[in-house]
Chain A
Amino acid sequence: MQIPNYITKIEGHGKLKVDFEKNKAKLIVDEGERLFEGLVLGRPYYDIPFIVSRICGVCPTSHYLSSLKALEKAFNVTLSEQSINLRKIILMGQITQSHILHAVFLALPDYINCDSISEITKKAPAEFAAALEIKKVSDKVVEIIGGRAVHPVTPTVGGFTKYPSKKSLTDLRDDLQNSLSHVNHLVEFFQKLEYPKFIRETKYLALDNDLEYAFYDGRVTYNFGYSFEPDLYQKEISEFVPANSTAKNAKHQDKEFMVGALARISLHPHKLRLKAKNILEQYFVKDNFPSYNPYHNNLAQMIEIIHAWEEMISLLNQVIKSGLGQSKVDFKVKAGKGVGAIEAPRGTLYHYYEIDKNGIVIDCDIITPTVQNLLNLEKDADKLMAQTKSLSNKKRAKLLEMLVRAYDPCITCSVH
């Protein structure tokens, strides 16, 4: 039978259209519309996180939390400190789940010349074992706090339907501590990989706040010093539908931009925890930072894993110390609107809902990270094609595929 020539080892269905003569390359999004922004209309607010998390099986927790934040804003709900800490931990669990899947299972094969999971186990057994351990503990974070590793169930408007026991949190912290050596090993391994040399300056966007390396909350910063409130995202970020694409593309102030791990480590490296910061400083010597080499996104993901590991341990210690009690807060359903923005593994994720007085959703808008990255990827691909004219077509095709993979695109999310 004829199998479609989709790019392998990425989430969702995309094809590369390459014109070697004209030095042009394009990622064709070939996913059917699922229309989530329409599916939620007319539904009660409490169904929303459950529905929109199905946009993506790789980052469902991001959609879950982003939509909850939007609903909580619409109802003026302020969470307890424990609930916020648990949300932050589960979000970091989601980040590391997704990063490790991408960095080792999908992207690493490009760098060590192999082709499938079983080949990775043969060519890099220690790294594969470390990756499995990191995946296992990341899944456990989401499972203990969220109830399930894929498509969590416990986060709800006002907090969680069920809070984890103190013992399960202590076990989790110990697991994180015991696996730190695996994380260190793998980060060092990724420092030694040979990333293709390619640079194209662009604009980075990511959430930022004064207290921490932001994932759960913050203002959207860009160009090192400028920022806007997530509530204004529809004014700042414009979406458009390119010809023959089921995924929208996005621009910020009329220009392409990039979101995700590389954007985040570039915009606020000083907020990384110590080990992560050390690695960043070791690898990127002065004039090499911020890096505008998109292939470095893979290393940035590993740096974020080591940061998140330390951060999760610290937050768990805080929650264990302060105790859980009954942390869910009550609220009244009322008419309102709300934006919820978080850093998903692949970048800033925006959810917007308008709710009527009966708690029914009357408007919705979602902008996913991959939507924001598509145009930047296209510009990178064009520059890469222009720079590699002297190489064989086979080599150029491989570099292109690696470029697409380095972005860790979630085509599934991009057509939501």
Chain B
Amino acid sequence: MSKKKLAIFDLTDCEGCELQIINLKEKILALENYFEFVNWRLVNSNNNPGPFDIALVEGNPVKPEEVKLLINLRAQSKVLVALGACASTGGIPSMINENYRKIITRKIYGRNYKSKATTAAPIHAYVKVDYHLPGCPADQNQIEKILIDLIHDKPPSSLTHPVCLECKLKENKCLLLDKQPCLGPVTQGGCGAACPSEGLYCYGCWGPMKDANLTALKNVYKRDLKWTRENTKKHLELFWKDLEEYNKL
């Protein structure tokens, strides 16, 4: 079996998801039996311009040059995977709109500053994405799983349960019952209830579960936390601002 050409690209972001790959440690060496890491700026000096069998793309394309790079990358890659919340759902940098972006740019950089970034959207706003590795940061087990599937040209299986289920299986104390704004019931599972297991409510970084009942969640927040619709929307802004579910609420 010939090795698959793998590229890992970072757009504007924190590079935490790439670090999750480095944190696989010895497993990276095992993956090298199946993949050739042909382009990975963070750790390699000689980087290949393509074409690629698989490209993992992390971050938001915030500058016009990054949008161009992303479009080229799509054209050069057989399979393109959105790595992490920023690429997949927009993530934290996408929580503001373009008008507010102008106002705070002026506050931070001064009046005469010319901004380079214009927006912060998920990559599917510009190109077709084959698979998603959501999460802030992306989950190591899921990264490993998807890469193993791709070695065998197998489409990765989609996950069909919310964070809440994983949390229940771990027999954690329910944070929602504790009157905390946990998004576990409406958020796509796969992280193993990473935050609620440590006592922090879910912020929804994997994005919404398919057919999530957001109206019910909003009503629970209203009843138990005395939250208005605006409070709930503000809470969802962190990771869902660019998504249909947010706009529909």
Contact = CB atoms under 8 A, between A and B. Distances in A.
B15 A412 contact: yes
B217 to A, nearest CB: 18
A116 B17 contact: no
A153 B43 contact: no
A54 B62 contact: no
A109 B44 CA distance: 10
Given A34-B93, A115-B45, A153-B194, A57 B117 contact: no
Contact of B66 (A32, A55, A109, A241): A32
B47 interface: yes
**On chain B, which size bracket covers the interface?**
35 or more
Interface in B221-242: 234, 238
A46 to B, nearest CB: 10
Contact of B199 (A8, A149, A162): A162
Interface in A307-345: none
Contacts of A34: 12, 62, 93, 117, 120
A6 B12 CA distance: 13
Main secondary structure of the interface of A (DSSP, over half): loop
Contact of B15 (A11, A105, A136, A153): A11
A175 interface: no
Contact of A117 (B17, B28, B65): B28
Nearest to B115: A33
Contacts of A57: 13-19, 137
B153 interface: no
A153 B25 contact: no
Contacts of A4: 65, 69
Contact of A39 (B16, B43, B65, B96): B96
A361 B25 CA distance: 39
A223 interface: no
B115 A150 contact: no
Given A3-B49, A56-B14, A117-B43, A147 B91 contact: no
B200 A153 contact: yes
Contacts of B75: 1
Interface of A: 1-4, 6, 8-9, 11-13, 31-35, 37-39, 41, 43, 47, 50-51, 54-58, 60, 101, 105-106, 109, 115-118, 121, 132, 135-136, 139, 147-151, 153-154, 156, 160-162, 241, 246, 248, 412
